Structure 1
Amino acid sequence: MRTLLNVIWLVLAGIWMAASYVIAGIICCILIITIPFGIASFRIANYALWPFGRTLVRRTDAGVASTIGNIIWVIFAGWWLALGHIFTGIALCITIIGIPLGIANFKLIPVSLTPLGREVVATNDPRSFA
């Protein structure tokens, strides 16, 4: 079932949402001081491309630098990525088949706002239950 949902997700929302994260990552890597944001953006692009069967967990070693970085991220990139998830989620929820995909899109909003200090893990990974 996860594979089927991931394939439908890929066609309806995954490709262009992942592309928006990749664009944000490229821009961040060009501006050399924001390379950590670019790396986080590429990590989230991978998750946005194939989300079912994986989840996000907070890293225990993330500190104050992650919090400061997330504040900067929200100001410059996070808000428009979150808007993309909101609009895509609403559009997907219009149909019955798209409701699980819309919900998955809404679950990506927090990570689009605060990507630093998070890690993508498989749902059967013990860290996903913590």
Structure 2
Amino acid sequence: MKTILNVIWFVLSGFWLFLGYMLAGLLLCITIIGIPFGIAAFRIGVYALWPFGRTTVERRDAGAPSFIGNILWLILAGWWLTLAHIFTGILQCITIIGIPLGLANFKLIPVSLFPLGREIVRTDQPFAQARW
């Protein structure tokens, strides 16, 4: 089932989200200060490409730099990404077929709001791949 949902997601939303996050990542990597944010955008973009069957977990080894980076990300990009995911998620939930896609959009909110200090893992093994 997750394969079918991933294919539908890819066609309707995932490809465009992926391209947007990749473009943002490239722009962020222009400066040395922006490289961690660019890498975070790349990770979110790959997650947005195939969200079904994967989730995010917090990394316990992420410290103060991730916290400070997340505050900067929230101020500069996180709030508008979150609003975009909320808006598109609500629009997708209008139809019965779009409800799983809307829920996937809502699932992207935490990682688009605070991407640093999170790791994307498969849902069938969330604790085996997380770095604790």
TM-score in terms of structure 1 length = 0.93
| RMSD (Å), alpha carbons | 1.6
Count of aligned pairs between the two proteins:
130
SS for the counterpart of 1:30 is coil
Q: Which 5+ residue runs of structure 1 have no aligned equivalent?
A: none
Partner of 2:30: 30
Counterpart residue type for residue 26 of structure 1: L
**Following TM superposition, where does structure 1 have runs of at least 4 consecutive aligned residues deviating by more than 4 angstroms?**
none
State the match for 1:79 in structure 2: 79
CA deviation after TM superposition for structure 1 residue 32, in Å: 2.0
Q: Which residue of 2 aligns with 1:15?
A: 15
Partner residue in 1 for 2:57: 57
* Higher mean C-alpha displacement, 84-93 vs 48-57: 84-93
SS at match of 1:57: strand
Contact 2:55–2:126 (Cα < 8 Å) also in 1: no
Q: What's the offset of the Cα at 1:82?
A: 1.3
Aligned twin of 1:101: 101
Q: Which amino acid aligns with 2:104?
A: A
Give the distance between the partners of 1:61 and 1:55, measured in 2 at CA. 18
Query: Aligned partners of 1:101, 1:67: CA distance in 2, in Å?
Result: 30
1:99–1:126 Cα change, 3 Å: closer
Residue 19 of structure 1 deviates from its aligned partner by 1.9
- Is this contact kept in 1: 2:57–2:126, CA < 8 A? no
Residue type of the alignment partner of 1:103: L
* Counterpart position of 2:3: 3
Encode CA deviations 1:55-110: one digit per residue, 9 max, x unaligned. Answer: 10001110111010000001111122112211210111111000011011011111
SS where residue 87 of structure 1 aligns?
A: helix
Give the drift of 1:126.
4.4
Hey, what's the Cα distance between the residues in 1 that align with 2:11 and 2:118? 26
Q: What secondary structure does 2:127 align onto?
A: helix
- For residues 124 and 72 of structure 1, what CA distance do their matches in structure 2 show? 32
Runs of at least 5 residues in structure 2 that lack an aligned partner in the other structure: none
| SS of structure 1 residue aligned to 2:60 | coil
Q: What amino acid sits opposite 2:22 in the alignment? A: V
Query: Does the aligned pair in 1 maintain the 2:82–2:113 contact within 8 Å?
Result: yes
